[in-house]
Chains A and B, each alone.
Chain A
């Protein structure tokens, strides 16, 4: 074959290809013109999706919502014509009539006549066309330049954000609780792997498990957390009212403290009152708790853990202190009822009287052995309890309120806040495990827990909550804030079966990795000069489900929810109480802040002196 023949065949084949393509386009154009009402709706739907950054499923749902009109039309037509065949042909008839007089009024009339069928059909076709466009661009099949996928994605992100923001501003779009006990979080920006809905919602049960929130300061973490608390509280209240669940108890540990914490507490309280709470206690400003209500053994362990005991040679002293605490708290007269009573017990005289009388020789020996250390131990606990302040000295129990907001000054007084956090966590655990108290559905939320995690690592708090059936929500400002080492951080995040919210943070990779990767297609084009040629290859690649670069660039109030190997980017809506809350003003018969009543420590009863040897009563013991 000569070169000339080869050129001719090549040109001929090229012409055939181009002609076929042109014919296909012409045919499509002819159909589009002929079915102009459908084309009109399709174009409008496509343009709306493009401008508002909707996914194709949004158009499909709109098409589905247009079907009732089509059904109404079919029913009305059937009633008029009393036959099926004319009903099916009616839109065709109307369309045909529309071509006879192409005036504006007639065009509008024809459109109105065929709209019940044209709207759902047009929207459905628009969804297909838009889905194809997204597919073509993201896989590299569409677009005129190599940067088309990047530009398309960036533009769509901007539009998706704008749409989500618009939605969150509407008063009724993002209430505190939606149908099906779901908590609306905000407008969906983009869903990768999750089902797309205009408003992103979480099942309230997700907060009954474990959840992690990570975000830098000023990224809108507070709004997100308050919204989740209020949503969970509202859902739990609903469930309790219908007798299908327990009353909620929300426990919030604000571990940074400061003036901001007071503002947050006030906001949370307003919102919870709006959601139906009757009493929201803010600790330590307005309410108190009683540490001494803990079971004696737990109390002894807690008091021991609250003091820095050191290691090495100090271990000896720690053992002595632990023994003294057990003696003081488990004395036969019962546990101490307040700080003063507890400190009284750390005296040799009190302990000797309490364990004396000859019935507890072992304990009495321990009191004697620890005697010279008692003043030191008393001094240390006097100092610690004085620093902790009166807010843990009661009266008051967690059961007294629907929600507790604990403000721990973790920034200014870290060691005190750590001890307080330990005590409150212990009280919460006691409330969850207590068989005598009313069972409650408990959510323990720790905001910036890393500020107080020196004594009790976050992972311990987490595992404790899990074992007690409490929901635990923890927040940190960064991946590093979740634990001391990667092992601990992974332990926390890997068990967050309620999901992980990541807001803007400089190092999101470990969190984004939890969402895994997804399969994507990448097309490589052969370049001819500066333009794309006809040839190329497509291959399967792996891409982040939750893109860390997008997370890093998230704006204030935007979050990425990672759960079950999928991710949803959401514009969090500021939580607001409904202006229509029906609760009548609560008659405040008891103040929210309780004034502690003086409590008196009972002196240990002096044991009666034995009349003689115990052998006189029980008979002589056997020789050993």
Chain B
């Protein structure tokens, strides 16, 4: 049951932006065609699936949850096992207190960038780089230049980490 795509059951595209009326219309059409009280006996299995799907998709919140579930499921392998693992350093679990943990954390950064929001991060990096260049152009050789660049780097690190994917098992 968990593998059923409720959008598919109602013949709708998987889109969280669908309206209440669209979902209701799809449900009514399927219900009319498959209801077990029909003269031809209907299609109980399809009717049941459509009923369950309608119950799930009838609110905007339900649609967004169902869509999020589908998206999550799409990124997983079949079965309950964790998604395919990107081949990165440290494929063996280390205890958190391991002395190698900081190195492992550092080694994971490229994968975290790729799996996070790389474009947002790139934009921040570009802003930081442009500011640093402007500073170096405006006040070369002064004591304020490295200080300003330190400030820019602090801003980049503090705000940029949000665009990284979480660490493994986090």
Interface residues of chain A, those whose CB is within 8 Å of chain B, are 65-66, 68-70, 72-73, 76-77, 79-80, 90, 94, 105, 108-109, 112-116, 119, 167, 170-173, 175-177, 218, 220, 222, 234, 237-238, 241-243, 259-260, 262-263, 265-267, 269-270, 273-276, 280, 556, 574, 576-586, 588, 592
Contacts and interface: CB of A to CB of B under 8 A. Distances in A.
B69 A579 contact: no
A585 B170 contact: no
10 closest A-B pairs (Cβ-Cβ)?
A73-B147, A69-B151, A175-B166, A76-B143, A77-B143, A266-B2, A116-B147, A170-B162, A175-B170, A173-B162
Contact of B170 (A119, A578, A586): A578
8 contacts: A69-B147, A69-B154, A172-B161, A172-B163, A262-B2, A580-B85, A582-B169, A585-B85
Interface string B95-113: 1110000000000100110
B166 A80 contact: no
A273 B76 CA distance: 11
B82 A581 contact: yes
A265 B2 contact: yes
Given A77-B143, A578-B167, A580-B165, A592 B86 contact: no
A263 B82 contact: no
Interface residues of B, number: 65
Given A76-B147, A172-B163, A218-B62, A234 B169 contact: yes
Contacts of B115: 171, 579-580
A583 B154 contact: no
A581 B83 contact: yes
A237 B169 contact: yes
Contacts of B95: 241-243
Interface stretch (B11-19, B30-38, B52-60): B52-60
A578 B147 CA distance: 36
B166 A580 contact: yes
Given A69-B147, A582-B169, 15 more contacts: A80-B143, A109-B138, A112-B138, A113-B139, A171-B117, A172-B165, A218-B62, A234-B169, A241-B95, A263-B66, A270-B76, A280-B80, A580-B85, A583-B168, A585-B81
B81 A267 contact: no
Interface string B1-22: 1100000000000000000000
Contacts of B65: 222
B82 A583 contact: yes
A260 B93 CA distance: 34
Contact of B81 (A69, A222, A273): A273
B144 A94 contact: yes
A583 B91 CA distance: 7
Contacts of A259: 1, 52, 55-56
A270 B72 contact: yes
A621 to B, nearest CB: 66
A582 B170 contact: no
Interface of B: 1-2, 52, 55-56, 59, 61-62, 65-66, 68-69, 72-73, 75-77, 79-86, 88, 90-93, 95-97, 108, 111-112, 115-117, 120, 134-135, 138-139, 142-148, 150-151, 154, 158, 161-170
B20 to A, nearest CB: 13
A172 B2 contact: no
B143 to A, nearest CB: 4
A577 B147 contact: no
Contact of A581 (B59, B148, B151, B169): B169
Contacts of B85: 580-585
A112 B148 contact: yes
B72 A576 contact: yes
A578 B83 CA distance: 10
A229 to B, nearest CB: 15
Contacts of B73: 270
B43 to A, nearest CB: 18
B158 A65 contact: yes
B138 to A, nearest CB: 5
Contacts of A119: 151
B138 A592 contact: no
Nearest to A81: B143
Given A113-B144, A172-B162, A582-B91, A577 B82 contact: yes
A69 B150 CA distance: 5
Nearest to B166: A175
